[in-house]
Structure formats: structure tokens, C-alpha cells
A = this chain, B = another copy of it.
């Protein structure tokens, strides 16, 4: 088995809890990869020899970004809706339905090539693991094919039949479909099940029904909740012991306590607030209360069409009171936690060698240099992409 030494790393973010600080930083570091896995990490001066060597040129090296929330399986474009919203028109409720219609009309090949393009775009920006949801099919056939397509790109696929109630459908009847035939068809292609629990989408009892049915079918639950206003979603997530609940913009003190006590991760999606001109979630309050916080892109054609984890980091620091270190931790270690993964999100011996090289000396530059494409190298399972 060939071993590769990456040396001359100016700053190595390990996320190793055995090392000091939140990010377990090693300066003037080196890292050895064997068979796609990290074999050794430490100060360059102590590095073992290896078959091959790669000079990182003094750059910062971080764990690859884990984007735990995206909606990449869709067709069509909603740039005009975005421009209208920015001009002060209110968020069109028909938005998701526009994408549903376009997605149903698209061929498998069109959808697949569109997902491939977005995944490649994400990779170039440092994302080495992405979760992908269905949710623009909303028929048994279209949800199943959306997931089958997503599964070609990631193991982290999420069945989101309960994204919105299709036009002309009775909510209770639709939930019966989602928890019945649609769930059966989605199940072979999905790891997770998700519900949009919000006024105008699914109420808390319907959300519970979907999550309970999903769990019985072997799919772990996650939830969209408390995005547009206060609501019972976060409490439901904590009650069911979900691994993550996403958005968390409108929280009361009980919600925060519940998140802390349950250990459910609050996944914040600042690209949405940027692109909809809504107030940002208060990451500082959550962190100070002891809640575990992840950041993700929510890449989708309606409320947030960014695929940029570096932008999420910059927004979290500018708008949400996170330090650069907390924001980096939230897109690496916490992103992995939000997907229940302990093989990614850190650079420690035995972990997968997914890593990002920055054209910058430290992780702070991701927030200090907003918008600048600083990611100059991305390795997945020990190989440059």
C-alpha cells in the first residue's frame, strides 16, 4: 500500500479532541495517508517517511467540508423569482411547486447531469461529503427516481416526500401516501427521512407520523423546522431524539434547552437568510447554551442557490456571532456529526483522508477573505479530485 506524506502544512486543522483548542490545530504540520485513510498526523519535524511526498507550500489544510443539507435533484431555474424578491416582492408560495413541475418533466439524464454539475461545483469549493434530499418529485415515481439519482453521488440521501403538499391534494391523504407507498419506493435509495414542519407545509402531527413511519422502515429522521416563525418542530426533533434539526431561526428558551438536553444538532443555513433577506439564526445563543451547531448550504433553486460552504462560514462569522474556528468546526466535525459519521469531519489516524487546502495560511482567512475562492486543492479518500 502506497503511503503519501503531505508536508509543509502551515496550519493543520485536525478537529482532534485530544489536541488543544476547538480545532486541534497543529502548526508546521505534516500528514501521512495510506489507502485513503489518515495514517499519521503531527509536527513536520516528527513526520515518518513515506513512498510519495506532496508539498503543501505552507498553506492551511482542513478536513473536507461536510455539507449536511442540500436539495440538488431538481430542474429549472428561479433567478427571476429571486430578482423579484430582492426588489421587495414577497416570497412566492408557489416557488417549490414551480420546481416540482420542472423536475417531473425532466428526463433522468437531465437530472443526473444537473446533480453531477452541482456536486462538482461543491467539490471545487471544498465539500467532500454532501447530503442530498429528494422533495421536488412528490409522486411515488418521482421521489424514488430523485433518490436513485442522488444515490449515485452520495450515501447520504434523504427522502423528503413531505416537502410540501402537492396542489389539489388533501394533506392527510398525502401523508398517508408519503408514509405508505412512497416510503416503500424511496426506502431502498435513502438513508434519512425528512419533513418540512412549518406553517403552510406540514403540521407537527403529520411530521411526527412521517418520522415514525420512516424510523419503522429503517430511515433515520431529520427535520426542517422553525425557519419562518416559531413552531413546534424543534421540540419534536428533541423529543424524538433526532440527530439534527435544520434552520432553527425562531427559537424560544424551551427550544434551546431541549436542543441542549437532547444533543440534537442545530444545523443553521445562513445562505437562506442571505438570499431571502430574513433575520439570521442566533448561533451565539445556541453555542453559549451548549447546543451543538452545524452549518450547511441548503443549496436549492428557490430560497438559497449557493453551494458555497466558504460563504456560509463568512456569513456565520459576520452575521451570527460565530468565531472563525467555530464556523470551521461547524462545517467539518459538526457536519459529520449531523450525518452520524465518525469517519469524516476530522483529520485523525484512522479517519478518511478527505481534506481541503487553502490558498491562505490559516482557517481564519475563510472569513477574513469573504467571496474569494481560497480552496485550491481538494482530496477525497487520499487522492486529489
Binding site for B on A (CB under 8 A): 77-80, 82-83, 86-87, 121, 124-125, 271, 274-275, 277, 305-308, 310-312, 314, 317-318, 323-324, 359, 361-362, 364-365, 367-373
Contact = CB atoms under 8 A, between A and B. Distances in A.
Contacts of A311: 370-372
Contacts of A370: 271, 274-275, 306, 308, 311
B77 A307 contact: no
Contact of A306 (B78, B307, B362, B371): B371
Contact of A86 (B78, B310, B312, B317): B317
Contacts of A277: 318
B373 A82 contact: no
A376 to B, nearest CB: 11
A125 B274 contact: no
B308 A364 contact: no
Contacts of A86: 317-318, 323-324, 367
Given A83-B367, A125-B371, 13 more contacts: A77-B361, A79-B362, A82-B367, A82-B368, A83-B324, A83-B368, A86-B318, A275-B368, A277-B318, A308-B371, A311-B370, A311-B372, A371-B371
Nearest to A312: B371
B79 A365 contact: yes
A125 B373 CA distance: 8
A271 B314 CA distance: 12
A318 B306 CA distance: 14
Nearest to A277: B318
A186 to B, nearest CB: 29
A87 B323 contact: yes
Given A77-B361, A361-B77, A371 B83 contact: no
A306 B83 contact: no
Contacts of A362: 79
A305 B362 CA distance: 14
A219 B311 CA distance: 39
A83 B323 contact: yes
Nearest to A308: B371
B87 A125 contact: no
Given A79-B364, A318-B274, A365-B79, A306 B372 contact: yes
Contacts of A83: 323-324, 364, 367-368
Nearest to A375: B373
A360 to B, nearest CB: 8
A179 to B, nearest CB: 35
Nearest to A369: B305
A60 to B, nearest CB: 11
Contacts of A323: 83, 86-87
A98 to B, nearest CB: 14
A317 to B, nearest CB: 5
Nearest to A322: B86
Contacts of A124: 373
Nearest to A365: B79
Contacts of A372: 121, 125, 306-308, 311
16 contacts: A79-B365, A83-B323, A83-B368, A86-B318, A87-B323, A121-B359, A121-B372, A124-B373, A271-B371, A274-B318, A305-B369, A306-B371, A308-B371, A308-B372, A311-B371, A371-B371
